[in-house]
């Protein structure tokens, strides 16, 4: 009878550190950790020595010091005695402003171009292809410079509007396109319900939001009617009414008036000035990114197999309904993730504002503040922190969207 | 002798195709097609790939355009007039090789979509009708699942139910079992046989010759865009007249 | 059976119907016009709008192009010659083309050197892009970086030779020892290379650069479109191996390695390139030893390479994910260890799938090299906005210069993307 014995215990040998799968990963990670620690020590050491030699240290106190420079285009109050921190805030708001505006217009350009690209009109389709190829193959910096140059070189100075027979006139007597910027009439309320202008505008926003929810209620009611009787009532008139009537009523009650820009002396006074750099950056980012969005839209719609359109057509659905009920819901799933990536690209490309003098965060914190205070490391780190945060937020939004519309499979 | 193919075929004409020719660019894909289909007939169309058989049935419900000749479905002439096309499409149902179910809608929603939006049926009635047909194809319990969660055979049966919900008088089948695993072909063919037994007019492009023998009144053989031969199934399989038919049959039945 | 059908069912075609041409109204130019341009009223309106737009654009640009003046020496002279007509002042290009292409400090008598480097680049890159060319050409591709470096920067020929020698010896050591153990081969190769470089550095005599065959040109004298090309080519080539390493690290089972790679990739992808260029220009110097003065070009190359590597890593990650799991399992079951499986089975396939994405990143990177103009390097855009537009003769010449820059970039980028599409079609037919 044989007895069962335990298998002999293996002796631990040094070569097992590399060959034995149990130890191997630990060994490599230990090596990696040592290398990482060594590099950090080496770089850190150099950093400390260099800082000491330059007489600097790492400190963020400079954010509290007065900035000493003006910012022309700003959304909040600021003057040159405000702190660097406030200048950075103005920069952040400017970045968000141009990114927001550019995302909207880029989407509009991109969707129109993408849909037209698929049109069965040969001329239009080829024209859109030309647009997409030209804009995609030339660097965005060159486009920003070109459009800024168009604005500053091709548009007239305010002086050209002077005199009895001026070289340039305001469009409709309301808008002035100059090489410094576009002046548009400013709306304000004569008899606002609240004392502060901000509260009045928030009231307008609340009314619009209310109209939005009312529209949804109307659509829900129409769907209910359709489910019950089969006929879907026409909602267009009601939707228009529910948007226009409260809004117009509020405008009348609050006494909406317009301050029209007028040429006084050498420059325009009154109205809102949308600075040239902002317009150039906004427009350039929009048409540049619009070309990429157009390709995304086209790929998304083409990704939906032809069989879907055929099946829907065989069931008797008309092309408009096919697009709404069958193609678009599926295409949006494919289009929206890259679209959100493009929004991220717009936010990052807005940092090129420094090339045209628009005061975004890269130009204030990473530009003037950095040069004036010499605090390169702190400024660049803060700058990168801002963009990282924006990227993470946008990525999170994308992940949430993806998870919520995932098609259910086995 | 098979039973179903003996079923009474009415005298009412369902489809008339007269001198139809179709070109893709300069490629002459359908040549001088003349065909009359009576209500209640079951026709199987077979032929080598590229012979134009799918193109032919896709012309009947205007998924493809023809350049010469005329097609009349249920008394309505197929022209470029959208009203005529709509009318024809609501009388003719179609099942595709790759099912083409709408993946973002549930099975029930797939079946109720067209009745609600085309025939303006109230939702409740559409759902009742959908459940009726889903029971008919024997998958009522899957009504709230999504197409991605079903097997190929189940998806094709849903596709059949979806077409039936529009209460068509004619059903077109474009190679309905070609994309299925072998063990699922039977369940779909059984569904089609049941449909045939209830008197539905059917045009089937398929390679399933057993189905043809059992159910078809007529088998049509197409090659290079023209109708080469047509006959009753027994005569067609046992005594093919044309050489091309004989060659084709020897290839598909011989193995 | 109904009598009617039994009479008319049996039918045999009398012969083959030959193909005939489609009826006149259904084909030809008129039909094409009808279908493609005027198939419906909205379509017709779109066509007319499109034609109007095309006409307006052409009306503005064609006279401007064809009335171009090519031979004057300043903008004012151009205006005199044109005498009020609309026309372009292309003389700026004739006079300053060399600054636009080479920067304004690269010695003109040495232009043949970057020109030769460019031609050799095409030769070096050809076997990589076109798989049909003989594989022996890859030897030249391997030698090219050293040849190009010596041609453009000049200086002693000893430096590139020693660098090349280091790589060769390291590679040989890797081959010899790598067979038995990957780790021994890898680290042994690195050690051998370092020894060669250290020894060789000591061998170079003082002042060798002054008497070199090709006169040395410092990095700050490089500029123009040449600078964009150099940055693009260098950074894309260097970022490929780094990107592969990052991608493999990101999907590794070892948590430390994986997290290092993830953090690096997400960090670099989350910030705009310009912030990384700020790091290169103002911050990176702090991390080098106090006495070292590191070339701006090198610093910029480091940051752009890191940037590009992160994006390439994501593309390759997609390629690795697209590979069927069975490939990994097959490699394992054949007894291949990790480096062998990666080198022989996984990476070749994954890279093939990723090529369109990598080319996309390369095109994007090439366009992004224009950003160095913001940190005061005089690439093509930097030259235009700086010396040329600031000069008195050419102040105000915008369209000709910007148009030229746009054209150069368009030609290169469009060419690369056409190559990418060709390649995709080639690869698609390979997989049936």
**B93-112, pLDDT tens digit by residue?**
999 999 999 999 999 999 99
| pLDDT attached to residue C2 | 40
Contact assessment for residue C345 and residue C331, using Cβ atoms and an 8 Å cutoff: yes
pLDDT score at A408? 72
What is the total residue count of chain B? 255
**For residue C276, what pLDDT is reported?**
93
Q: What is the pLDDT of residue C391?
A: 79
Is the CB of A384 inside 8 Å of chain C's CB atoms?
Answer: yes
**Inter-residue contact C21 to B237 (CB < 8 Å):** no
Count other C-beta atoms under 10 Å from residue B80's C-beta: 8
Within 10 A of C221 (CB to CB), how many other CB atoms are there?
15
The pLDDT confidence band at residue C210, using thresholds 50, 70 and 90, is low
More reliable by pLDDT, B200 or C7 = B200
Query: pLDDT value at position A15?
Result: 67
pLDDT at C430: 59
Average of per-residue pLDDT across A401-408? 81
pLDDT on residue A10: 63
Please enumerate in sequence order all residues whose Cβ is within 8 A of that of C393, keeping only pairs 6 or more positions apart, or say none. Answer: C73, C74, C75, C76
Chain A residues closer than 8 Å to B104 by CB: 329-330, 333, 407
- Give the separation between CA A346 and CA A290, rounded to whole angstroms: 10
Burial A255-266 (b: 16+ CB within 10 A, else e): ebeeebbebeee
Q: In this predicted model, what pLDDT tens digit does every residue of B113-166 receive, in sequence order? A: 999 999 889 999 999 999 999 999 999 999 999 999 999 999 999 999 999 999
Beta-strand relationship, B76-77 and B92-95: unpaired
Q: Minimal Cα distance from C398: which residue of A?
A: A149
| Higher-pLDDT residue of B155, B254 | B155
CB contact under 8 A, B227 and C13: yes
Q: Are C235 and A348 in contact (CB under 8 A)?
A: no
Please identify which residue in the block is written with the tokens 């091309």. Answer: B244
CB C239 within 8 A of CB C247: no
pLDDT score of C1: 39
d(CA C305, CA C279): 13
pLDDT at residue A16 tops 70: no
pLDDT at position C283 is 85
Query: Angle at CA C218, nearest 5°, toward C215 and C219?
Result: 135
Q: pLDDT tier at C366 (50, 70, 90 boundaries)?
A: very high
The arrangement of strands across the sheet holding B27-38 comes to B27-38, B13-24, B68-73, B76-77
Residue of A59, A312, A283, C282 lying closest to B103 (CA atoms): A312
What is the C-alpha separation between C70 and C429, in angstroms, rounded?
Answer: 48
In this structure, the strands spanning B170-174 and B201-205 are: parallel
Identify the pLDDT of residue C45. 87
Tell me what the mean pLDDT of segment B221-240 comes to: 90
Tokens found for residue B209: 């010759």
Confidence of residue C207 (pLDDT cuts 50, 70, 90): low
Give per-residue pLDDT as tens, C31-53: 777 777 777 778 888 888 888 98
pLDDT band at C159 (very low <50, low <70, confident <90, very high): confident
Cα dihedral angle (B136, B137, B138, B143), rounded to 10 degrees? -100
Cross-chain residue pair B114–A317, CB shorter than 8 Å: yes
Residue A5, pLDDT > 70, answer no
Q: What is the ipTM metric for this complex?
A: 0.86
Q: Encode pLDDT of A159-189 as tens digits.
A: 777 766 677 777 777 788 888 888 888 888 8
Look at residues B147, B201, B146, B143 and name the one whose alpha carbon lies nearest to residue B172.
Answer: B201
Across chain A, mean pLDDT equals 85
Mean per-residue pLDDT, C66-72: 80
Question: In terms of Cα–Cα distance, which of B156, B171, B13 is closest to B89?
Answer: B171
Is C189 in contact with C170 (CB distance < 8 Å)? Answer: yes
pLDDT bucket at A9, cuts 50 / 70 / 90:
low
Confidence at C4, pLDDT banded by 50, 70, 90? very low
Distance, in Å, from the CA atom of C185 to the CA atom of C171, rounded to the nearest integer, reads 9
Which pLDDT tens digit goes with each residue over B11-24?
Answer: 889 999 999 999 98
pLDDT score for A178: 83
Q: State the pLDDT at residue A164.
A: 67
Q: Do C278 and A51 touch (CB under 8 A)?
A: no
Look at residue B73 in the predicted model and tell me its pLDDT. Answer: 93
The answer to whether the Cβ–Cβ distance between A153 and C413 falls below 8 Å is: no
Element (H, E) at A346: helix A328-349
Taking an 8 Å cut-off on Cβ atoms, the answer to whether A315 and B96 are in contact is no
Residue C362: the pLDDT is 92
Judged against a pLDDT cut of 80, whether residue C211 lies above it is answered with no
pLDDT higher than 70, residue C432:
no
Nearest by CB to residue A36, choosing from C50, C260, C405, is C260
Average pLDDT over residues B232-238: 89
Chain center to CA of A391: 11
What residues contact B24, with CB distance under 8 A and at least 6 apart?
A: none
Tens digits of residue pLDDT in C285-301: 888 888 777 888 889 99
Which of the other chains make 3 or more beta carbon contacts under 8 angstroms with chain B? A, C
Q: Which two tokens stand for residue A240?
A: 């228009």
pLDDT tens per residue, range A199-229? 888 888 899 999 999 999 999 999 898 888 8
β-partners of residue A275 are: A181
Determine the residue among B58, B78, B100, B127 to mutate to test chain A binding: the one whose Cβ has the most chain A Cβ atoms within 10 Å. Answer: B100
Q: How many CB atoms lie within 10 A of CB C270?
A: 21
Q: Is a pLDDT exceeding 90 seen at residue A273? A: no
The two structure tokens encoding residue A153:
């070189």
Q: Cβ–Cβ of A314/B61 closer than 8 Å?
A: yes
- H or E stretch covering B31: strand B27-38
**How does DSSP classify residue A286?**
H
Give the pair of three-digit tokens for residue C28: 């030809």
Percent of chain A whose predicted confidence (pLDDT) is above 70: 93
> What's the pLDDT tens digit per position in A291-304?
999 999 998 888 88
* Residues B31, C17: C-beta atoms closer than 8 Å: yes
Return the exposure string of A378-406: e unless at least 16 CB atoms fall within 10 Å of the residue's CB, then b: bbbbbbbebbbebbeebbeebeebeeeee
Tell me whether residue B36 is exposed, middle or buried, using C-beta atoms within 10 angstroms of its C-beta: 0 to 12, 13 to 18, 19 or more.
middle
Separation between Cα atoms, residue B72 and residue B89, nearest integer Å:
12
Q: Where are the alpha helices (DSSP H) in A254-275?
A: none
Whether A385 and chain B come into contact, CB under 8 Å, resolves to no
Could you read off the pLDDT of C254-270 as tens digits, one per residue? Answer: 888 899 999 999 999 99
* Three-state secondary structure readout of chain C: CCHHHHHHCCEECCCCCCCCCCCHHHCCHHHHHHHHCCCCHHHHHHHHHHHHHHHHHHHHHHHHHHCCECCCCCHHHHHHHHCCCCCCECHHHHHHHHHHHHCCCCCHHHCHHHHHHHHHHHHHHHHHHCCCCCCCHHHHHHHHHHHHHHHHHCECCHHHHHHHHHHHHHHHHHHHHHCCCHHHHHHHHHHHHHHHHHHHHHHCCCCCCCCCCECCCCHHHCCHHHHHHHHHHHHHHHHHHHHHHHHHHHCCCCHHHHHHHHHHHHHHHHCCHHHHHHHHHHHHHHHCCCCCCCCHHHHHHHHHHHHHHHHHHHHHHHHHHHCCHHHHHHHHHCCCCHHHHHHHHHHHHHHHHHHHHHHHHHHHHHHHHHHHHHHCCCEHHHHHHHHHHHCCCCCCCCHHHHHHHHHHHHHHHHHHHHHHHHHHHHHHHHCC
Q: Is the pLDDT of residue C27 over 70?
A: no
pLDDT at C303: 93
pLDDT for the residue numbered C308: 95
Q: Under 8 Å CB-to-CB from C141, ≥6 apart: which residues?
A: C124, C125, C127, C128
How far apart CA C365 and CA C276 sit, in angstroms, is 13
Q: Are strands A176-177 and A181-184 parallel, antiparallel or unpaired?
A: antiparallel
**Which residues on A lie below 8 Å from B92 (Cβ)?**
314
Q: Is the pLDDT of residue C121 over 80?
A: yes
Residue B67 clears pLDDT 70, i.e. is over it = yes
- Which among C381, C371, C380 is positioned nearest to C281, based on CA atoms? C371
Residues of chain C found within 8 Å of residue B67, distances taken between Cβ atoms: 22-23, 26
The first and second tokens of residue A218, run together, are 């109307």
Q: What does the block give as tokens for C300?
A: 């910029």
Global pTM reads: 0.83
B162–chain C nearest CA distance, Å = 31
Alpha carbon separation from A404 to A399, A408, B16, B147, B198 (Å, rounded):
9, 11, 49, 18, 44
Residue C326, pLDDT score:
85
| Residue A11 φ then ψ, to 5° | -70, 140
Least confidently predicted of A257-271, B58-72, B151-165: A257-271
Q: Report the residue from C13, C17, C26 with minimal CB separation from B67.
A: C26
Looking up tokens 């009808």, which residue turns up? C34
- Say how far apart CA C66 and CA C64 lie, in whole Å: 6
A19: confidence class by pLDDT, cuts 50, 70, 90: low
> Are the C-beta atoms of residues B14 and B200 closer than 8 Å to each other?
no
Q: CB-based contact (8 Å) between A119 and chain C?
A: yes
Could you identify the residue written with the tokens 């379509």?
A: C43
Q: Distance of alpha carbon C20 from its chain centroid, rounded?
A: 50
Is residue A288 scored above 90 in pLDDT?
A: yes
Q: What is the residue-averaged pLDDT of chain C?
A: 83
Q: Is A377 exposed, middle or buried (0-12, 13-18, 19+ CB in 10 A)?
A: middle
Q: Give the pLDDT band (50/70/90) at residue C222.
A: confident
pLDDT score at A72? 77
Cβ contacts of C23 on chain B, cutoff 8 Å:
67-68
What angle do helix axes A140-149 and C399-430 make, rounded to 10 degrees?
Answer: 150
Determine the pLDDT at residue A351: 93
Q: What pLDDT score does A13 carry?
A: 67
Element (H, E) at A264: strand A262-264
By mean pLDDT, which of A108-112, C194-198, C361-365 is the weakest?
A: C194-198
Lowest mean pLDDT among B232-236, B246-250, C385-389: C385-389
> Please, what is the average pLDDT of chain B?
90
Joined tokens for residue A120: 């069965």
Cα(A120)–Cα(A122) distance, rounded to whole angstroms? Answer: 6
- Element at A389 (helix H, strand E): helix A376-405
């Amino acid at each position: 009878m044989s007895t069962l014995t335990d298998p002999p215990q293996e002796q631990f040998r040094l070569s097992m550190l590399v060959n034995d799968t149990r130890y191997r990963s630990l060994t490599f990670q230990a090596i990696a950790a040592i290398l990482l620690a060594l590099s950090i020590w080496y770089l850190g050491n150099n950093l400390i020595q260099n800082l000491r030699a330059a007489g600097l240290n790492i400190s963020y106190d400079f954010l509290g010091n007065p900035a000493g420079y003006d910012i022309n285009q700003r959304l909040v109050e600021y003057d040159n005695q405000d702190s660097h921190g406030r200048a950075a805030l103005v920069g952040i708001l400017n970045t968000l402003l141009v990114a927001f505006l550019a995302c909207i217009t880029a989407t509009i350009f991109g969707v129109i171009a993408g849909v037209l690209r698929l049109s069965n009109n040969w001329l239009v389709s080829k024209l859109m292809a030309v647009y997409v190829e030209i804009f995609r193959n030339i660097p965005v910096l060159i486009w920003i410079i070109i459009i800024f140059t168009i604005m500053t070189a091709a548009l007239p100075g305010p002086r050209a509007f002077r005199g009895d027979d001026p070289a340039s006139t305001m469009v409709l007597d309301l808008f002035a396109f100059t090489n410094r910027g576009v002046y548009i009439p400013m709306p304000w309320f004569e008899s606002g319900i609240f004392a502060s202008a901000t509260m009045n505008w928030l009231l307008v926003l609340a009314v619009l939001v209310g109209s939005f929810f009312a529209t949804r209620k109307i659509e829900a009611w129409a769907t209910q009617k359709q489910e019950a009787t089969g006929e879907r009532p026409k909602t267009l008139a009601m939707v228009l009414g529910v948007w226009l009537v409260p809004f117009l009523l509020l405008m009348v009650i609050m006494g909406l008036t317009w301050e029209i820009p007028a040429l006084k002396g050498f420059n325009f006074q009154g109205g809102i000035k949308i600075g040239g750099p902002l317009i150039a950056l906004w427009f350039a980012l929009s048409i540049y990114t619009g070309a990429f969005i157009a390709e995304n839209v086209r790929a998304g719609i083409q990704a939906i197999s032809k069989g879907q359109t055929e099946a829907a057509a065989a069931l008797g659905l008309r092309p408009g309904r096919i697009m709404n009920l069958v193609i678009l819901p599926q295409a949006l799933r494919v289009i929206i993730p890259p679209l959100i990536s493009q929004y991220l690209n717009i936010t990052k490309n807005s940092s090129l504002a420094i090339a045209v003098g628009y005061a975004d965060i890269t130009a204030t914190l990473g530009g003037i503040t950095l040069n004036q205070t010499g605090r390169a490391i702190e400024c660049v780190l803060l700058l990168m922190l801002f963009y990282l945060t924006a990227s993470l937020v946008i990525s999170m939004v994308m992940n949430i969207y993806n998870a919520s519309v995932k098609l259910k499979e086995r | 002798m098979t039973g179903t193919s003996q079923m009474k075929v009415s005298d009412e004409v369902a489809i008339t195709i007269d001198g139809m020719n179709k070109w893709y660019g300069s490629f002459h894909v359908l040549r001088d097609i003349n065909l009359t289909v009576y209500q209640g007939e079951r026709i199987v169309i077979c032929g080598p790939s590229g012979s134009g058989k799918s193109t032919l049935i896709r012309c009947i419900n205007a998924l493809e355009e023809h350049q010469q000749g005329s097609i009349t479905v249920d008394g309505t002439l197929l022209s470029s007039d959208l009203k005529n096309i709509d009318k024809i499409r609501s009388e003719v149902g179609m099942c595709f090789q790759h099912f083409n179910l709408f993946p973002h809608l549930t099975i029930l929603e797939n079946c109720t979509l067209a009745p609600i939006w085309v025939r303006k049926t109230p939702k409740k009635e559409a759902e009742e009708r959908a459940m009726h047909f889903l029971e008919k194809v024997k998958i009522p319990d899957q009504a709230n699942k999504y197409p991605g969660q079903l097997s190929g055979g189940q998806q094709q049966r849903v596709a059949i139910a979806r077409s039936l919900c529009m209460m068509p008088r004619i059903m077109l089948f474009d190679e309905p079992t070609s994309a299925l695993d072998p063990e699922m072909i039977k369940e779909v063919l059984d569904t089609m046989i049941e449909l045939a037994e209830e008197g539905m007019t059917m045009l089937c492009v398929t390679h399933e010759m057993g189905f043809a023998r059992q159910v078809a009144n007529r088998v049509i053989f197409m090659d290079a865009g023209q109708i080469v031969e047509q006959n009753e199934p027994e005569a067609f399989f046992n005594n093919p007249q044309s050489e091309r038919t004989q060659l084709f049959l020897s290839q598909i039945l011989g193995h | 059976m109904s009598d009617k059908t039994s009479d008319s069912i049996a039918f045999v075609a009398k012969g083959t119907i030959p193909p005939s041409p489609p009826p006149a109204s259904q084909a030809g130019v008129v039909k094409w016009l009808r279908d493609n341009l005027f198939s419906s009223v909205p379509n017709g309106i779109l066509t007319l709008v499109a034609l109007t737009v095309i006409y307006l654009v052409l009306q503005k640009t064609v006279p401007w192009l064809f009335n171009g003046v090519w031979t004057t020496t300043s903008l004012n002279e151009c205006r005199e010659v044109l005498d009020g007509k609309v026309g372009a002042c292309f003389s700026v290009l004739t006079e300053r083309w060399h600054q636009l292409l080479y920067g304004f400090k690269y010695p003109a008598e040495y232009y043949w050197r970057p020109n030769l480097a460019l031609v050799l680049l095409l030769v070096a890159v050809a076997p990589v892009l076109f798989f049909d060319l003989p594989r022996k050409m890859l030897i030249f591709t391997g030698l090219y970086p050293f040849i190009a470096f010596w041609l453009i920067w000049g200086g002693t020929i000893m430096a590139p030779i020693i660098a090349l020698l280091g790589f060769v010896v390291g590679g040989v050591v890797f081959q010899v020892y790598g067979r038995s153990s990957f780790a021994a081969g890898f680290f042994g190769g690195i050690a051998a290379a370092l020894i060669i470089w250290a020894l060789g550095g000591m061998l170079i005599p003082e002042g060798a650069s002054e008497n070199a065959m090709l006169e040395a040109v410092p990095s700050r004298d490089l500029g123009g479109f040449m600078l964009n090309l150099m940055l693009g080519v260098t950074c894309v080539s260097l970022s490929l191996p780094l990107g592969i390493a990052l991608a493999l690290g990101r999907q590794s089972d070892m948590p430390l390695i994986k997290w290092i790679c993830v953090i690096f990739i997400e960090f670099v992808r989350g910030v705009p390139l310009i912030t990384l260029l700020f790091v290169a220009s103002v911050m990176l110097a702090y991390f080098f030893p106090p006495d070292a003065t590191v070339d701006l070009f090198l610093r910029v190359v480091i940051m752009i390479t890191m940037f590009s590597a992160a994006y390439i890593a994501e593309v390759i990650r997609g390629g690795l994910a697209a590979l069927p799991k069975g490939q990994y399992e097959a490699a394992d079951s054949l007894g291949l260890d990790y480096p062998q499986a990666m080198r022989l089975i996984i990476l070749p396939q994954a890279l093939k799938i990723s090529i369109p994405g990598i080319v996309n990143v390369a095109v994007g990177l090439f366009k992004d090299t224009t950003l160095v103009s913001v940190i005061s390097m005089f690439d093509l855009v930097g030259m235009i906005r700086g010396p040329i537009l600031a000069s008195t003769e050419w102040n105000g010449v915008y369209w000709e210069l910007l148009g030229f820059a746009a054209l150069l970039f368009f030609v290169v980028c469009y060419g690369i993307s056409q190559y990418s599409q060709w390649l995709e079609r080639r690869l698609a037919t390979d997989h049936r």
